[in-house]
Structure 1
């Protein structure tokens, strides 16, 4: 196997040739996520630029992908891609690259694949995303997932065109992929459904605490997984004294979620079961919630765990709705706050950390439209 070595002034990293994608995806992803080698990639590019040659001509395909994802496009570091975003970009781009590799195998392309990509390959890729056979699904991806993947690949292809790596603007070969409101998955939970889940696990300190915190705060599962015990604090100046949980959300935006007394008590029961301190301590760096091995939850594992314990209840309505993820509780929080408590959309938007009011409105639009149905005003015994 050939290796393309990035010259380093410390322990070297090897970004492997494209065959490694097939044999060890986790290894290549781990290497790709290490941003400490970006300076060395710039050095390779600048050596070519000093020779009045395109900088990217010094890089292998995988190094080009590496550079595209890690490059700092904003002077303000807060506006550059975060680690989780980079991880998703790498997954989508490596999947695309693997597809192109298979498409071009018959041409026995041994060097860079990018100059050999044609619009027909882009059309085939979009069709594959929609109707292809995959390990964990019967046929293709949902339209929202396809739209996200295509957005990532289009931005990469545009980058290749602007940098003259490819001769044609391949990104224009994609058909439009608009996610309409009706295409978005329904994530509605009623108060009665949430209560039935909580009642089912009322004697289970682990599951009850997780579900109650999700339901009463509207936090994202990523925010919950990353929260530390020191992030929980008491503010005596708010409503005569209120507990808050500080979280860092998307785009590193800090928010403070209200922790109800019942929710606080459930968190303390969780921590007691895990053998952790239950005394508020702003100096403690331990996770808010830990696994039975005392480690912080990975957010994907936590999401899968919550989904599984809900399925384990065996409720008929759970089976009818399909997999219920933690994000359902975020929708519940928004709907309950707006439709039951009558709070303004803008207030709820800020509470849950939506950048756009339109996003928050989308959570409640269908229920609001049902409530405005003219048929509700007809007398029930008109005929």
Structure 2
């Protein structure tokens, strides 16, 4: 459980952003059937903003007068929160803006952060509408905790900030290729996993990471100082070697790399059982090539219950890290940040502990 640091003032004023297209396209119906009444009964004043296109939420929070709001609440999948966090960090007043409490109501097909928030509250496993109602109650309680954000540097384009995951290989492939099965809701990931298992790919790449148990590392000059947002003190520029205290995984064949900073990767994927919202570490998993399809399927089935760490799979490596670098060497592939596709190529990441505020109930 994350340490609760404050409570929303009463009466609260919430900016509620809803993506009507997310998941099975039922977010507005779920709002009307459940959330509107819950918030009204709890004395929470809220204004509904319906997003109309990609990056609409990002633009809204970049321009918003945040003094009008006590919290920003997202009712969608995880992609809308990714937009909101990056919009806040692009503001000139980002240091103040990123402190506004953020709430999540599951309205998509992944709902990883909502499942994580529900888990942190100590409640037993639920899904679909029960998860929505649980998150609605937690939102009405209004307890606020810290949340880590991870700075992601790509070889092209501006820096991104991530609250959930960085993935390459099997997990990223399943996430993006299963978009076509959105109409089945959370089951899209199961369908996608079985399809991708049938023709398993391997990827060549290099990796390096800074283990979290080291208390200090020599700060490097950031490659992104011109951007808004906090300074990256652990990352050298992408075209320079990593510091000597990093663990280096030389060129190898991988099935997947997954960096997690919340407990759940989806409603039914308990990917990082030890994670909390503000533990200051990236939970890094990677699977080396050579694993059989049966063993990989067993690993994913175990992940539904969070028992994959004790399967003794010899191809699975897990490390708690503060920073990492991935250099894909295969010419084609997919890299995702919080489930969103980013440019394929070298990428590195560093954790910024407790940068954001999360309503955890």
So what's the TM-score if we normalise by structure 1?
0.25
- The structure whose Rg is larger is 1
The structure where strand makes up a greater share of residues is: 2
Q: Give the number of the structure with larger relative contact order, counting CA–CA contacts within 8 Å between residues 6 or more apart.
A: 2
More helix by share: 1
TM-score (norm 2): 0.27
